[in-house]
Structure 1
Amino acid sequence: MDVLSDVIAVMRSGRPRSARVAWHAPWGQRFPAAPGSAGFQVILQGSCRLIPPSGDPVALSVGDVVFFPHGHGYGLADSPSTPLAEPVCDPLEDAELFTSDFVGQNGPVTVTLCGGYQLSPGHTHPLLRDLPETIHLPARLGHHPELRAAIDLLGNEIGNPRLGADTIVPALLDMLLLYILRTWFENPPTPDKATGWAPALADPAVSAALHAMHRDLARPWTVQTLAAQAGLSRATFAHRFATLAGQPPLTYLTWWRLTVAANLLCESDAPLGQVATRIGYTSEFAFANAFKRQYGIAPGKYRRQRTASARP
């Protein structure tokens, strides 16, 4: 898998939720912080204001997408002066996979599409951790056609659910998440303001090495073989990778291997030896030692504790 697909597959847990809401002015809603989650808002009709925890309100119009990768709280309102009410729509808490709602009276209408994703708190990848608190992707004619198409499909399915919607909506929510992140990483801020992994993924050499690791995690990678994938000398590659990714290549590789292992322990009943082989360890003993160094607990005990905590 490529880096972004791989990261989302391991980080996200449970089923995403979504809601299509028609707001009739005057209206304002507070969306509380939800640690361990990520959420989005899309303006399908009308306009509104994003009320961040600090700073000035942000005007949003039709087609705008706002993504909250760290689950920070915020507000939405028809006007900055409208008081924010307590939540009436929380896709992460609602039992339904997707809902439609109507809020307010008879004023001008704004229609939003919101959604939420649960993330594994112990497996936060630096690619997600280093994203800004809020990502605003303004609608621009002719830009991001795949993102716009996913929004249209998702809005139609939620507004008019038909046969197969219970399967289509989660797939579209996953697709939308990937398109939002792809759009951000392919169009990051100017280089002097770029943060996190955007420069690493934009660098052809570092990106080539990252994709190679993620495609073949079990391969006995060395700095030299990764440098060959990057088309650089060993020293040049090691320096560039550490500068852009924030850690040496083999340090990242070990962390990612054990992160994938933790996910496999929770999501499958594969024997420990099989898990070890899948992530590139030649023995169960070596895997167990490495896992305990990272998580402070043996892999077998980690699996038992997570399995027990997941039971209703």
Structure 2
Amino acid sequence: MDLMSEVIRAVRVGSAYGRLIRQPGSRGLRLPAISGTGAHVIVSGTCWLIREGEEPVALAPGDVVLSSAGGEHGLSPVPCALDDLPPVLVAAPTGQAVAFEFLTCCYVLERGQAPQYLRALPDFMVVSLDYDRHPEMRTLVDLLRADVSGAAMGRGATMPALLDLILVHALRQWHEKHSAAGWPATDDAVVAAALHKIHADPRRVWSVGELSAAVGMNRTTFTKRFTTAVGQPPTSYMTSVRLGRGARLLQASEAPLATIAREVGYATEAAFSDAFRREYGLRPGRFRRDAAARGSA
């Protein structure tokens, strides 16, 4: 089971946002904490990643700053303290030389929180895009820059697709260098088999006993191994998967709530609605209306 793909599917419930920021030479900027996951791609110039209580990190064109859970941070042309940076402006003042520019893109999760997989990783990760090894990434960054700089039709569809590719490539590259740190142990054959069964049929409500028996392990040992690898007990994980699929169906279709409830393993619309509200903080109908309003905007 490819957990990285499941991470991307989970954060896709949020609203995709992207912008090109051109920062004047004498100024840095402080970006507030958000509920979400995203990345900055340095396009030109050099700058420093500034975090509270951490040493500044030098950044150059092609570097990507991955934010696993949207913590507060800053970018500055010179090393400094986070409190010294002003809040980000909507637009840089005109007529000033630009010290650096970067693409910022993220999935903002109005409800819920980043998946456990991402929360197990460092708050910020820096990787350098290897354009020689992966020349297609230069094209991808150019496409993302063009997409966030205009207002062409279809942007609501292209933005998530481009953001997915940026996140997957950067996460994959970081994971290759830090294979022992944080990320779930997807090479555990028993856990992988259980994940496959859960995702193969999200309508089925597995009990822990049924799932552990299906993979040939006693319940207690299975629960410990699953929780260690995935970061959640089996029951919590199954609930998150089913409701995450429900959220995506609410965004992508006009199917009645009762139909969606059955698609994700709930016998009644009321049961689905109650579980969804506990997970996302609002009822499915309101979630769908909010998603539609964001898409129109």
Task: Describe the superposition over 1:241-272 as per-residue Cα deviations: whole angstroms up to 9, x where unpaired.
Answer: 12222343244213422443355457655344
Superposition map of 1:158-173 within 5 A: 158=148, 166=155, 167-173=157-163
Name the CA shift for 1:89/1:204 in 2 (closer, same or farther; >3 Å).
farther
Name the CA shift for 1:22/1:220 in 2 (closer, same or farther; >3 Å).
closer
Task: Describe the superposition over 1:44-69 as per-residue Cα deviations: whole angstroms up to 9, x where unpaired.
Answer: 22211111122111111121100223
Report the TM-score when normalising by structure 1.
Answer: 0.71
Matched, 1:260 2:245: yes
Residue identity matched to 2:68: P
**For residue 240 of structure 1, what is the aligned residue in structure 2?**
225
Distance 2:236 2:21 in 1: 45
**For residue 189 of structure 1, what is the aligned residue in structure 2?**
178
Task: Describe the superposition over 1:17-41 as per-residue Cα deviations: whole angstroms up to 9, x where unpaired.
Answer: 32223334222112222x3233321
Report the TM-score when normalising by structure 2.
Answer: 0.74
Where 2:89 maps in the other structure, the secondary structure is coil
Matched, 1:87 2:88: yes
Deviation (angstroms), 1:202? 4.5
Residue identity matched to 1:84: L
Distance 1:294 1:111 in 2: 40
Task: Describe the superposition over 1:114-149 as per-residue Cα deviations: whole angstroms up to 9, x where unpaired.
Answer: 223221422543223333211211345655666555
Query: Where does the alignment leave 5 or more consecutive residues of structure 2 unmatched?
Result: none
**For residue 68 of structure 2, what is the aligned residue in structure 1?**
69
Q: Which of residues 102, 106, 112 in structure 1 aligns to 2:102? A: 112
Name the CA shift for 1:280/1:27 in 2 (closer, same or farther; >3 Å).
same
Among the aligned pairs, what percent are the same residue?
Answer: 34
**For residue 263 of structure 2, what is the aligned residue in structure 1?**
278
Residue identity matched to 1:209: A
Name the CA shift for 1:29/1:163 in 2 (closer, same or farther; >3 Å).
closer
Where 2:185 maps in the other structure, the secondary structure is helix
Contact 2:13 2:248 in 1 (8 A): no
Deviation (angstroms), 1:239? 3.6
Query: Where does the alignment leave 5 or more consecutive residues of structure 1 unmatched?
Result: 91-100
Superposition map of 1:210-221 within 5 A: 210-219=195-204, 221=206
Contact 1:40 1:65 in 2 (8 A): yes
Contact 1:2 1:215 in 2 (8 A): no
**For residue 27 of structure 2, what is the aligned residue in structure 1?**
27
Deviation (angstroms), 1:189? 2.8
Where 2:106 maps in the other structure, the secondary structure is strand
Deviation (angstroms), 1:74? 1.4
Distance 2:243 2:153 in 1: 36
- RMSD of equivalent CA atoms: 4.0
Distance 2:250 2:241 in 1: 14
Distance 1:112 1:291 in 2: 40
Name the CA shift for 1:201/1:291 in 2 (closer, same or farther; >3 Å).
farther
Deviation (angstroms), 1:226? 4.7
Name the CA shift for 1:176/1:311 in 2 (closer, same or farther; >3 Å).
closer
Contact 1:66 1:136 in 2 (8 A): yes
Residue identity matched to 2:76: A
